[in-house]
Structure 1
Amino acid sequence: MYAAIKHLHVLCAVLSGSGFLLQGIWMTRRSPLLDHRVTRVLPHVIDTLFFTSAITLAMLSAQYPFVAPWVTAKVIGLVVYVVLGYIALRGGPTMRIRVFALACALLVFSWIVSVALTKNAAGFLVLTGAF
């Protein structure tokens, strides 16, 4: 059961990240597809499955935020990613701010993935010598 949920979680991570990148591209091109009903609904479905599978994995493995440092890092990164994603796709007052927020959100998403792969709270920052 754990393996199936982990595979679902990884699949949702790929779909969520890819979907966000695609929405970011549409945002920079001012595409009407960004406001399509499917584009507004599907990411919420994917992210709900993503979040539910994450909680299930945490419960099954007994690795919780504020107990396991790498899980805490992922949760904090997720909050930063969501805020940046909102600014990029909806809340940024100028295109320059939206594109900057998009780039930062993609960087944070990559860092979250690196934390998950290494199970190290610093993620890819370890490679830079920052931590």
Structure 2
Amino acid sequence: MNYLLIKHLHVTAAALSIVFFIIRSYWSVTGNGLLQKKVVKIAPHIIDTVLLLAAILLSMMLGPAAAQPWVLTKIVLLIAYIGVGTIAIKRGRTPTSRAVAAIIAVGIFLYIVGVALTRNPASWFA
């Protein structure tokens, strides 16, 4: 497989994932009924599955280099992003708590992007 093709697929899925997350977070905070549409509930799972599969393929292509601290940092941050993201979209009890969780989740996402671009766990602070 072509590394650059998989990398571009991964980056595209990441961009779609965050844009769709921000839209759904906004709908969650404002109580918009569009959040309950079937396509809105299914699309994030498809996008995130593509994102994760591309990440796995890239890790396999990197081989032992995939065990570097920056890759492990991205994995840990991804778990945090998912956890906070569920609060922003579903589990937050109030619009304010969902909004705060959404802001934190976007911050985590931006940190992950920094880790990916710098290949350093310090992200933008490297």
Structure 2 residue identity aligned to 1:36: K
How far the C-alpha of 1:125 sits from its partner, in A, is 3.1
Q: Distance in 1 between matches of 2:125 and 2:89?
A: 26
Q: Find runs of 4+ consecutive structure 1 residues off by over 3 angstroms.
A: none
Q: 1:77 maps to which residue?
A: 77
- State the aligned residue count: 124
Letter matched to residue 93 of structure 2: P
Please name the residue that 1:39 is paired with.
40
2:123 aligned counterpart, secondary structure: coil
Counterpart secondary structure, 1:124: helix
Q: Structure 1 residue 111 and structure 2 residue 111: aligned? A: yes
User: Which structure 2 residue ranges, 5 or more long, are not aligned?
Assistant: none
Q: CA RMSD in A?
A: 0.9
**Contact 2:92–2:98 (Cα < 8 Å) also in 1:** yes
Q: Which residue of 2 aligns with 1:56?
A: 57
Gaps of at least 5 residues in structure 1 are 127-131
Q: Whole-Å Cα distance in 2 between the matches of residues 6 and 124 of structure 1?
A: 20
SS in 2 for 1:93: coil
Deviation at residue 43 of structure 1 after TM alignment: 0.5
Choose between structure 1 and 2 for higher RCO, CA contacts under 8 A separated by at least 6 residues. 2
Aligned to 2:28: 27
Q: 2:10 — aligned with what? A: 9
TM-score normalized by structure 2? 0.95
Paired with 2:125 and 2:107, the residues of 1 have a C-alpha distance of 11
**CA distance, structure 2, for counterparts of residue 96 and residue 46 of structure 1:** 27
1:53 Cα shift?
0.2
